[in-house]
Amino acid sequence: MSRWRIALLLLAGGAYAGLSHWMMVWHADAPWAVAALLGPMWLSVFGLMGARFGKPGMVVTVALGVIGFVLVLRGDAGNPDRLYVLQHAGIHAVLCCWFGGTLRADRLSLIGQFAQRIHSLSPGMRDYTTLLTRIWTVYFAGMVVASIAIYALLPFGVWSVFANLFTPVSAVALFVGEHLLRYRIHPEFERTRLIDAFRAVYEGNRADDTPGRSGA
C-alpha cells in the first residue's frame, strides 16, 4: 500500500466525516442521507457475511438492506438519529470484542499479530502489544459508553460532532501518539515507520489468520 493511497484514504475519511456531520444535523430524515450515512456499516456487514457464510450470507444482507431502505422511504424506520447512534456504538462494540477477544494467555494479541507482520517479537514486545491491545479495547468500550451517554443527555448536534469529528481525530491521535511515545518508553524495541504500522493494520484486516501469525 503506497503512501499516496494512505494519504488519499485519510483525506477521503476526513471529507466523509465532515459530510456526515452536515447530513446528520441538516438532513437526518432524508432517505438519501440515511443511505449515505448507514451505507458503510451495511457494506461492512455485507463483506463479513460473505466471508463467513458465502453467497447465502450476502443474499440475506442485501435483502435486509432493501427492506431497511424501503422502511426509511415509507417513514416506518423510526427516528433516524437512533439508527446513527446504533451504528456508531455498534461498530465500536464490535471492535471492542474483536480486540478484547484476543486477550487470552494462549494466543497472541491482535496488535501483536499486526506487529508480527513487520518483524519478529521479543518477549518484551509481545507483552507490550498485549498491553496496547488492552488500551484499544478500553478505548472502544469507552466510545460505546460515551456515545450513548452523549446522545441521551445532550443535543443531537453535540453527539454528531462527537461521532463524526472527535471519534476519528481521537483514534488517529491514539494511533500516532502511541507510535511517537513507544521508543521513549522502550528504546530497546526495534524501530518501525508509522507507515509500516498503518500498512500492517490495513493489510492484516484482509489477511486470513494462520497458526503461525496468530500465535495460537
Q: How far apart are CA 4 and CA 129, in angstroms?
A: 28
Q: How far apart are CA 85 and CA 91, in angstroms?
A: 10
Cell of 21: 456531520
Cell of 7: 494519504
Q: How far apart are CA 29 and CA 150, in angstroms?
A: 20
Q: How many helices (H) and strands (E) does the chain have?
A: 10, 0
Short-list 126, 136, 121, CA closest to 178: 136
More confident site: 213 or 196: 196
pLDDT at 144 over 60: yes
**pLDDT score at 13:** 59
pTM of the prediction?
Answer: 0.69
Q: What tens digit of pLDDT does each residue of 77-126 get?
A: 556 777 778 878 888 888 899 899 899 877 899 888 888 877 778 888 88
**pLDDT score at 185:** 81
User: Who contacts 205 (Cβ-Cβ below 8 Å, separation ≥6)?
Assistant: none
